[in-house]
Amino acid sequence: MGRIFYTALGLLAAPFLGGLLVGLDRILTARLQSRIGPPLFQPFYDLGKLWGKSRTLVNPWQAFGVHGYLAAASIALALFGLQSDLLLILFVQAVGTLFLVIGALASGSPYSQIGAHRELLQVLAYEPLLLLVPAGIYLETHSFRIVDLYQGGQPLLFRLPLLFLVLPLVLTIKLRKSPFDFSASHQTHQELVRGILTDYSGPYLCLIEVAHYFEMVLILGICSLFWTPGWAGQILLPAAAFLVTILIDNSSARLNWRWLWGAAWGIGLPLCLLNMIWIVWGY
């Protein structure tokens, strides 16, 4: 019962934590660009403004996609809080992204259509890497269950350092940061306006942003698993991954999908495979 209570509390706190991280991201990005930037709580002001607008949809499939995306993101985070199967958690969050793609494909806008196809390309780039992380954890701990990871003695970072290095790359793609922001972007250089999010507005766009916060907290939570037990490492590792994502975002220009696959599979896959070989051979 205690775990269920803390999971429910975490679900309520996750949107606030995600909003604070986005606000911090905007401030740090502005400082790196010699700007003042928005206030820390600007993401919450934006959500309030979106929620107060009228509900406008092209067709009901868009609402289906939004609610499916939000449900999958929240369920995946709840399963993480319950210390469930890590592989199941990643499959659930992947299904949520497909709901978002379905909603965009239901629109007749060419911007949404192209954005949806680009989102699928991003999924193909980061999902194999994200699934190799629990595979490497299983080789080390012989379990996919998060509860078993907290019972281990030595932090996973010492045995799985290369797998941890893959997570900031996945986080950069998942958060649609430069150089991997070609399916949707807040930046003015995006030629597809908002890409996959073009035809979403008002409360529905608000729900998408909240689901996005859930996913951000989930990926950072996976980063924290590489230092268990010990609360200090569980805070420092996700913070380091988040800062690396911001640095990558502000030091690189947008790439096309070929460069995306080259960077994800050309860098991420070798790191995953080398670390898994290291474990199997007993080094």
Identify the pLDDT of residue 262: 82
Q: Which pair of structure tokens corresponds to residue 36? A: 């003042």
pLDDT at 192: 52
Q: What pLDDT does residue 105 have? A: 87
Confidence at residue 213, expressed as pLDDT on a 0 to 100 scale? 94
165/125 Cα distance (integer angstroms): 16
Q: What is the DSSP string of 49-107?
A: HHHTS----SSHHHHHHHHHHHHHHHHHHHHHHTT-BHHHHHHHHHHHHHHHHHHHHTS
Q: How far apart (Å, rounded) are the C-alpha atoms in residues 74 and 212?
A: 10
What pLDDT is stored for residue 183 in this prediction?
Answer: 65
pLDDT of residue 196: 82
Alpha-carbon 116 to chain mean position: 17
Q: What is the pLDDT of residue 193?
A: 62
State residue 190's pLDDT score: 53
Per residue of the chain (283 residues), give pLDDT as tens.
667 887 888 889 999 999 999 999 999 988 888 888 889 999 999 999 999 888 888 888 888 999 999 999 999 999 998 888 999 999 999 999 999 889 888 887 788 888 888 888 888 888 888 889 999 998 888 888 888 888 777 888 888 899 999 998 888 888 888 777 776 765 545 555 667 888 888 899 999 999 999 999 999 999 999 887 777 888 899 999 999 998 888 887 777 777 887 888 888 889 988 998 888 886 5
- Residue 96: CB atoms within 10 A of its CB come to 22
pLDDT of residue 283: 57
d(CA 18, CA 221): 12
60-81 helix and 202-224 helix, angle to the nearest 10 degrees: 20
Domain extent for 196? 2-280
Q: How far apart are CA 279 and CA 90, in angstroms?
A: 22
Cα 185 from Cα 250, distance rounded (Å): 14
Provide the β-strand partners of residue 145.
85
Q: Give Dmax (Cα) for the chain.
A: 59
pLDDT at 42 (0 to 100): 93
What's residue 1's pLDDT?
63
Number of domains in the chain: 1
DSSP code string of 121-153: HHHHHHHHHHHHHHHHHHHHHS--BHHHHTT-S
